[in-house]
Amino acid sequence: MSTEPGRPDVRDAPRQTVAWQALRAVLADRVAATGRESLDIVDAGGGTGGFAVPLAKLGHSVTVVDPALDSLAALERRAAETGVGVKGLQGDAADLGDLLTPDSADLVLCHSVLEYVEDPVGALGAVRGVLREGGAVSVLAANPVATAIHRCLAGHFDEARQVLSDAAGRWGDRDPTPRRFSREEMSGLLARTGFALGDVHGVRIFADLVPGMLAESDPGALTALEQAASAHPVLRDIATQLHFIAYR
């Protein structure tokens, strides 16, 4: 089932709509501020183009920076199949300053990246360096509170407790995610790197908790629930991911 650019397939909507809704608002504000219909967007760690290709289809100029050549090859195929052009560059988020011109981007996506880089502060500094004045960064980051809930629901009670006491929000040595960020931690990190914090939303609050059969039975209602809960001052902070919009 296909859908319009920037709007998730109805089956994926409960997990994606909140982030896309925030991004569309940022894009509209930036278009209004600059008078340019086509914005310059960088997707750091954008992989195969799950966000980049729909953004390009909306008419924006999109560059994906990713360390994996296989992902960049898949991005090229995906873009070609969609009939859009997306530029792919090999590198990490910390390499943005070497790969791109300073002050050249209106929006930088940094989704599921800061959990894995060696130096989150350095990576965000590189992001800020390529943004134009008034430009925005979109950060999606794993939330340790949600991880504790999920480990508990899976019956791993000791691991759930470990998440809550671990400085990096990890549940043990076998945890594949090097670090997670609470809302307070990420807000502080963005402030330290010179960003002005905008909206913060919770992504996948209920969608990752309800059984798949129930989620698929009425995805529209679940999507509406996710949207309603995304800015709730309590529910937001138990989301699987936290979505931050911040500005240079």
Per residue in 168-226, pLDDT (tens digit) is 999 999 999 999 999 999 999 999 999 999 999 999 999 999 998 888 899 999 999 99
Q: What proportion of the chain, given as a percentage, has pLDDT over 90?
A: 91
Residue 28 CA: distances (Å) to CA of 39, 101, 153, 181, 217? 10, 24, 39, 28, 33
Residue 109 CA: distances (Å) to CA of 47, 64, 207? 12, 9, 22
Range list for CATH 3.40.50.150 in the chain: 13-143+181-247
Among 127, 139, 137, smallest CA distance to 103 is for 127
Would you mind telling me the total number of residues written for the chain in this entry? Answer: 248
Bridge-based pairing of strands 40-44 and 105-111 is: parallel
- Using pLDDT thresholds of 50, 70 and 90, give the confidence band for residue 9: low
Of the options 3.40.50.150, 3.40.50.2020, 3.30.1950.10, 3.30.230.70, the CATH number for the domain spanning 13-143+181-247: 3.40.50.150
Tracing tokens 């992504």 back to the chain, one arrives at 203
The per-residue pLDDT for 2 is 37
Q: What is the mean pLDDT of the chain?
A: 94
Residues 26-39: pLDDT tens digits?
A: 999 999 999 999 99
SS3 content of the chain, % helix, strand, coil (to 5): 45, 20, 35
CA max distance for the chain: 54
Residues 219-234: pLDDT tens digits?
A: 999 999 999 999 999 9
Collapsing DSSP to helix, strand or coil, 110 comes out as strand
Two tokens, residue 238:
């138990």
Interior CA angle at 118 toward 115 and 119, to 5°?
A: 90
Would you say 203 and 242 are in contact if contact means Cβ atoms under 8 Å apart? Answer: yes
- Using pLDDT thresholds of 50, 70 and 90, give the confidence band for residue 6: low
Q: Is the pLDDT of residue 13 over 90?
A: no
* CA pair distance 57, 5, nearest whole angstrom: 6
Q: Is the pLDDT of residue 136 over 90?
A: yes
Q: Is the pLDDT of residue 120 over 90?
A: yes
The per-residue pLDDT for 5 is 61
The per-residue pLDDT for 15 is 85
Q: Is the pLDDT of residue 10 over 50?
A: no
Gyration radius from the chain CA atoms: 18
What's this model's pTM, rounded to 2 decimal places? 0.94
